[in-house]
Amino acid sequence: MKRTLLLLLAFCALFGGAALADEDLVSGLSQDTVEITSNYTGTDIVVFGAIEHPEDNGAHDVVVVIRGPDANMIVRKKDRVVGIWLNRDQAKLQDMPTYYYLASTRSLGDIAAPYTLKRYGIGLANLKPERVFSHHDPEPFRQALIRRKQQDGLYGETPTGVEFLSPTLFRVHVPVPATVTRGQYNAEVYLFRDGNVISAQSTPLFIDQTGLERRLYNLAHASPLLYGLSAVLMAGILGWLSSVVFRRAS
Contact between 184 and other proteins by CB under 8 A: the answer reads no
Contacting range for other proteins; rule: CB under 8 A; set: 13-21, 24-32, 67-75, 191-199: 67-75
- The 27-66 site mask, x for binding other proteins (CB under 8 A), equals ---------xxxxxxx------------------------
Confirm or reject binding of residue 74 to other proteins (CB under 8 A): yes
- The answer to whether 43 touches 161, Cβ cutoff 8 Å, is no
Q: Does residue 196 touch other proteins according to CB under 8 A? A: no
Relative to beta strand 183-193, strand 60-67 is antiparallel
Distance CA(83)–CA(61), nearest Å, equals 52
Distance of CA 8 to the CA centre of its chain: 21
Kindly tell me which residue out of 6, 92, 125, 208 binds other proteins, with binding defined by CB under 8 A: 92
Cβ–Cβ < 8 Å for 122, 108: yes
Q: Which stretch binds other proteins (CB under 8 A): 15-23, 124-132, 173-181, 194-202?
A: 173-181
Do residues 158 and 108 touch, judged by C-beta distance below 8 A? no
Amino acid letter at 161?
G
The verdict on 1 binding other proteins (CB under 8 A) reads: no
- The answer to whether residue 246 forms part of the interface with other proteins (CB under 8 A) is yes
Burial of 28 from C-beta contacts in 10 A (0-12 / 13-18 / 19+): middle
Amino acid at 63: V
Nearer to other proteins, 143 or 196 (CB): 143
> Which one, of 99, 121, 117, lies nearest residue 108 by Cα?
117
Binding site for other proteins (CB under 8 A): 36-42, 71-80, 83-87, 90, 92, 98, 141, 144-145, 147-149, 151, 178-179, 181, 209, 213-214, 216-217, 220-221, 224-225, 227-232, 234-236, 238-243, 246, 249-250
